[in-house]
């Protein structure tokens, strides 16, 4: 915007200066020309009084410029000059000014007793336009100075407008990135101030709505603890200690998941978290391997030898892996093999979970939509987890590939 405003002011200033300075330059030239011709006419008139007297030659010599006096009978006094058409016209009794090689000639007609006398005063181009080039140069410098001044003022004005607009864009980016505490400082023209106030109001309203939604989710999640308590009591009442311990551990895991949901719901902004992907994925594969053995599923696991840090919290990565492995068990027949592979790739960590089932439908539904009778949230959870770390999700056939930022 600053560049466009500067160009606009430069164009407008140029038009104004052209409209002002061109007539002024022509006027300066006309005034200089008129002054030179006026001085030549005065010199010619100073000789008129000596026409017909013996002092004519002396009067011609006293004039400090080329003067020629054409007397009757082709007699000439002063500087040599030819009798041009203009001289012959002046001999008829008309005083004229005519063009001549290298300048102008001022012709003054005088009637004497012997006949018509013509006094010619020559004015060279240097005298005619003396000082004109200097004046034009001064006008050009003045025009350039005014144009530069206009551009500088326009740039300062544009900066006063564009700086608040740039700050608004930065605040918008921060809000889009999840920083709901970002606020704009009202500054600049009234219209920009109004936009800043409206953006601040919108950010506050979004924060209030999200807070209310988080509290609602936290309340709903908290209600699940009552049936969990009942489930744990039922597990403790079982006669088989081993079965009671197994169901109790599942209830504990479910309670931890509910607690994580409450914590995440109350968390105002997304915090930067990291975890060892090798350890998390290995733990979730061990968890699901029990069910895989019960269903006769063969599975392959490839994990890095050492730690592999990713920009995802351990809870989020575990939930992502559980969602994808849960899809394998929920949407493929018992006995269908699957594979879990985790490996570093450039600046990311790539998790691939594939199975030998029929694969995903050609057109996957959006969040909450599924063609297999499920909630449709599993893949969406995985996608959002990957994108939150700066990665992405790719689904090909029966394989899901997730890349996580490191």
Count of structural domains within the chain? 4
Model confidence pLDDT, tens digit, residues 353-374:
999 888 776 555 443 444 444 4
Percentage above 70 pLDDT, the chain: 88
What's the rounded mean pLDDT across residues 264-278? 69
Same domain, 168 and 276: no
Q: Between 349 and 247, whose confidence is greater?
A: 349
What confidence tier does 270 reach under pLDDT thresholds 50, 70, 90?
A: very low
Backbone phi, psi, residue 334, to 5°: -60, 140
Q: Of 232, 267, 302, which residue constitutes the final position of a domain?
A: 267
- CATH number (domain holding residue 381): 3.30.565.10
Flag whether pLDDT at 376 surpasses 70. Answer: no
Flag whether pLDDT at 206 surpasses 70. Answer: yes
Same domain, 46 and 124: yes
Flag whether pLDDT at 351 surpasses 70. Answer: yes
What's the rounded mean pLDDT across residues 93-121? 87
Residue 123: partners with Cβ closer than 8 Å, 6 or more residues away: 36, 37, 40, 65, 103, 104, 105, 106
What confidence tier does 338 reach under pLDDT thresholds 50, 70, 90?
A: very high
Contact 277, 342 (CB under 8 A): yes
Flag whether pLDDT at 285 surpasses 60. Answer: yes
Show the domain range for 251: 224-267
d(CA 357, CA 328): 8
Contact 330, 295 (CB under 8 A): no
Same domain, 145 and 126: no
3-state helix, strand, coil in the chain (%, to 5): 55, 15, 25
CA-based R_g, the chain, Å: 50
Query: Which pLDDT score is estimated for 299?
Result: 92
Same domain, 244 and 311: no
Same domain, 82 and 171: no
- Label residues 273-299 b or e (16+ Cβ within 10 Å = b): eebbbbebbbebbeebeeebeeeebeb
Q: Of 250, 267, 284, which residue constitutes the final position of a domain?
A: 267
Query: Which pLDDT score is estimated for 366?
Result: 43
Q: Of 243, 267, 291, which residue constitutes the final position of a domain?
A: 267
What's the rounded mean pLDDT across residues 150-159? 82
Same domain, 394 and 280: yes
Same domain, 208 and 117: no
Flag whether pLDDT at 298 surpasses 90. Answer: yes
- CATH number (domain holding residue 76): 3.30.450
Same domain, 78 and 164: no
Same domain, 25 and 62: yes
Query: Which pLDDT score is estimated for 346?
Result: 84
Same domain, 66 and 96: yes
The half-sphere exposure of 255 on its side-chain side, counting CA atoms within 13 A, is 14
Same domain, 320 and 361: yes
Same domain, 285 and 358: yes
């Amino acid at each position: 915007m600053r560049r466009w405003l500067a160009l606009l002011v430069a164009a407008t200033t140029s038009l104004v200066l052209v409209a002002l300075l061109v007539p002024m330059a022509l006027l300066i030239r006309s005034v200089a020309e008129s002054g030179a011709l006026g001085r030549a006419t005065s010199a010619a008139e100073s000789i008129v009084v000596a026409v017909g007297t013996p002092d004519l030659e002396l009067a011609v010599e006293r004039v400090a410029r080329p003067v020629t006096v054409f007397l009757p009978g082709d007699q000439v006094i002063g500087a040599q000059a030819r009798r041009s058409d203009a001289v012959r016209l002046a001999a008829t009794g008309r005083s004229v000014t005519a063009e001549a090689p290298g300048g102008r000639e001022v012709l003054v007609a005088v009637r004497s007793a012997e006949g018509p006398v013509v006094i010619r005063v020559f004015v060279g181009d240097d005298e005619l336009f003396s000082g004109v080039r200097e004046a034009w140069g001064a006008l050009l410098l003045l025009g350039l100075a005014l144009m530069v001044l206009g551009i500088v003022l326009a740039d300062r004005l544009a900066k006063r407008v564009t700086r608040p607009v740039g700050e608004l864009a930065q605040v918008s980016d921060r809000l889009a990135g999840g920083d709901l505490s970002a606020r704009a400082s009202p500054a600049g023209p009234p219209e920009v101030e109004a936009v800043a106030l409206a953006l601040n109001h919108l950010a506050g309203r979004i924060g209030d709505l999200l807070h209310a939604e988080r509290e609602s989710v936290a309340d709903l999640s908290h209600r699940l603890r009552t049936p969990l308590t009942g489930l744990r009591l039922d597990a403790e009442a079982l006669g088989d200690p081993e079965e009671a311990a197994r169901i109790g551990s599942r209830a504990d895991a479910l309670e931890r998941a509910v607690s994580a949901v409450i914590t995440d719901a109350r968390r105002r902004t997304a915090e930067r978290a990291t975890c060892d992907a090798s350890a998390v994925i290995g733990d979730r594969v061990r968890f699901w391997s029990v069910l895989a053995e019960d269903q006769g599923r063969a599975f392959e696991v490839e994990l890095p030898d050492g730690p592999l840090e990713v920009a995802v919290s351990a809870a989020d990565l575990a939930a992502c892996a559980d969602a994808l492995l849960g899809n394998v068990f929920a949407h493929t027949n018992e006995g269908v093999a699957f594979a879990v592979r985790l490996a570093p790739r450039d600046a990311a960590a790539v998790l691939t979970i594939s199975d030998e089932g029929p694969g995903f439908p050609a057109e996957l539904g959006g969040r909450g939509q599924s063609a297999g009778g499920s909630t449709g949230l599993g893949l969406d959870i995985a996608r959002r987890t990957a994108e939150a770390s700066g990665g992405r999700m790719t689904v090909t056939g029966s394989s899901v590939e997730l890349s996580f930022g490191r």
